[in-house]
Amino acid sequence: MMRQDKLDLIIEGGWVIDGLGGARRRADVGVAGDRVAAIGDLADAEAVRRVDARGKIVAPGFIDVHGHDDLMFVEKPGLEWKTSQGITTVVVGNCGVSGAPAPLPGNTAAALALLGETPLFADMQAYFDELRAQQPMINVAALVGHANLRLAVMADPTLTPTADEQQAMQRMLADALEAGAVGFSTGLAYQPGGAAQQAELEGLAQVAAAHGALHTSHIRNEGDEVEAAVDEVLSVGRNSGCATVLSHHKCMMPRNWGKSRATLANIDRARAQGVEVALDIYPYPGSSTILIPERAEIIDDIRITWSTPHPECSGEYLSDIAARWGCDKTTAAQRLCPAGAIYFAMDEAEVRRIFQHECCMVGSDGLPNDAHPHPRLWGSFTRVLGRYVREAELLTLEAAVAKMTSLPARVFGLAGRGQLSVGAWADIVVFDADTVADRATWEAPTLASTGIEQVLVNGRQVFPPQADGGRPGQILHRTPQGGKAPASQAAARTLATPEAPDSIQ
């Protein structure tokens, strides 16, 4: 126990899951300031406040490794879709798009619509300055988007960069990393990221590797060419030495269901060769992104999440809209754009297979700017706990919690996070393992989860929200720890140890 005359909070009588893969144990958890100060029998300890957690699980706050909340810290700073499912840290700037840097005049990309309405910031330093001024509700680690780099530097971002443009992108990436970004992301399935070739990606990855940062990727193809697309990103990691995360890994379209056996085997081979690689999923059989008219005829079930010219179509199926308009689905999609959509082209069994992989994390990939969002925004983490753990018994509760806490903390280098141990940051979730569940559905996607009792960020309660609670989140740096993702959940116990504060204040 840390020396402390009087604790600020004692969470007493709960089943403590440390996040490191160890078995649960009955213990009290004491919090002093923003840190875990004691774990054990604290019946005789003095505290300002006590919370009864008897019969409940007390665990580290969940880390959402794949968010698109970049601008929501400005537009909707309450972030209720995060706190209500136990998320205390989010990684933003995914899929090649981020809150900074801003494009050159005249440059734009459809995927930027995923982020929100706030103008993008000139650079990552300006973005972080705004987050500090706003005071984030939860902790945030930020990636810089590859599309942003292209749009901010290239006269024509649809082309291959010139040598000068490549150097300018690499300098801009280095500046972003030095400002506090934890890595960079690519969205190779979108433009302008899709125009990038291997040399460009490796040049950027080498910069990231030199800064101890990582590369996350929405790969080039998640359908017929998924195996080659995975291999492309693994090759970038292998050739550059850059730690790599494959974002929301999936195999779309029925003819490709089952290919994850091959892609996961290739990932394991790369790890055996020394490539530092991990992946994430969201626990749903439908994907969501911008509406892509070229997909209209090849995916049967497409649901519109938002449309600028036709907002009245939000929540409707593309086939119904096309029938009402008396046109084919491609034409309807073109008329709806710019727009967003949910694509029902995934296999639940395959999602579960990928989830069980030992280096797979959980990322909501939620799109809070959507008018009718994918339910993953509000329910990803509680869905894992309720459906994948309690109902399907895919993993033990301890192993699932580790996937959502210590594993992402280790992969993203978030020191002192993702664990309940003395000296760690007091990011804590208290939940009922018997009742925790997602309630968000395709029809009602913004229903809050049940079973989450209390959520603390840096020792302060954020859920249920308090009128005078403030916003206790921090901007997190990356502390590289080296090595591959853990070979087992037991191995994860040795990966994260509490360290000194590691945040931009």
Q: Where are the alpha helices (DSSP H) in 387-459?
A: 397-403, 406-411
Would you state the pLDDT for residue 74? Answer: 96
Q: What distance in Å separates the CA atoms of residue 192 and residue 426, rounded to the nearest whole number? A: 40
Query: How is residue 61 annotated by DSSP?
Result: P
Residue type, 421: S
pLDDT per residue, tens digit, the chain (505 aa), is: 454 579 999 999 999 999 999 999 999 999 999 999 999 999 999 999 999 999 999 999 999 999 999 999 999 999 999 999 999 999 999 999 999 999 999 999 999 999 999 999 999 999 999 999 999 999 999 999 999 999 999 999 999 999 999 999 999 999 999 999 999 999 999 999 999 999 999 999 999 999 999 999 999 999 999 999 999 999 999 999 999 999 999 999 999 999 999 999 999 999 999 999 999 999 999 999 999 999 999 999 999 999 999 999 999 999 999 999 999 999 999 999 999 999 999 999 999 999 999 999 999 999 999 999 999 999 999 999 999 999 999 999 999 999 999 999 999 999 999 999 999 999 999 999 999 999 999 999 999 999 999 999 999 999 999 888 789 999 999 997 643 333 333 333 322 333 333 322 2
State the Cα–Cα distance between residues 249 and 362, nearest whole angstrom: 11
- Residue with tokens 């291959």, as numbered in its chain: 160
Q: How confident is the model at residue 500, as a pLDDT?
A: 33
**What pLDDT is stored for residue 341 in this prediction?**
96
Can you count the helices (H) and strands (E) in the chain? 14, 21
Q: What's the pLDDT tens digit per position in 335-375?
A: 999 999 999 999 999 999 999 999 999 999 999 999 999 99
Count Cα neighbours of 460 within 13 Å in the Cβ-side half-sphere: 17
Mark out the alpha helices in 281-405 (DSSP H runs).
318-325, 329-336, 348-355, 376-383, 397-403
| Strand-strand pairing, 243-246 and 339-343 | unpaired
pTM of the model as a whole: 0.93
Q: For residue 14, give every residue at least 6 positions away whose Cβ sits within 8 Å of its Cβ, in sequence order, or none.
A: 26, 27, 28, 29, 53, 54, 55, 56, 57, 58, 430
Q: What pLDDT, on a 0 to 100 scale, did the predictor assign at position 335?
A: 97
Q: Which tokens belong to 36?
A: 């875990």
Q: 389-431: per-residue pLDDT in tens?
A: 999 999 999 999 999 999 999 999 999 999 999 999 999 999 9
Judged by DSSP in three states, 300 sits in: coil
Mean pLDDT of the chain: 94
Tokens of 274: 């020394």
**Alpha-carbon distances of 31 from 229, 242, 502, rounded to whole Å:** 45, 37, 18
| pLDDT (0 to 100) of residue 480 | 74
The bridge status of strand 428-431 relative to strand 452-457 is antiparallel
pLDDT (0 to 100) of residue 4: 54
Query: For residues 122 and 175, is the Cβ–Cβ distance under 8 A?
Result: no
What's the confidence (pLDDT) of residue 281? 98
Burial label, 308 (beta-carbon count in 10 A; 0-12, 13-18, 19+): exposed
Q: What would the two tokens of residue 105 be?
A: 């005049």
SS3 140: strand
Residue 468, pLDDT score = 80
3-state DSSP of 328-348: CHHHHHHHHCCEEEEECCCCH
- Give the pLDDT score at 486: 37
pLDDT at 3: 46
Domains, the chain? 7-60+419-471 (2.30.40.10), 62-286+345-411 (3.20.20.140), 288-341 (3.30.1490.130)
What span, in angstroms and rounded, lies between the C-alpha atoms of 142 and 214? 11
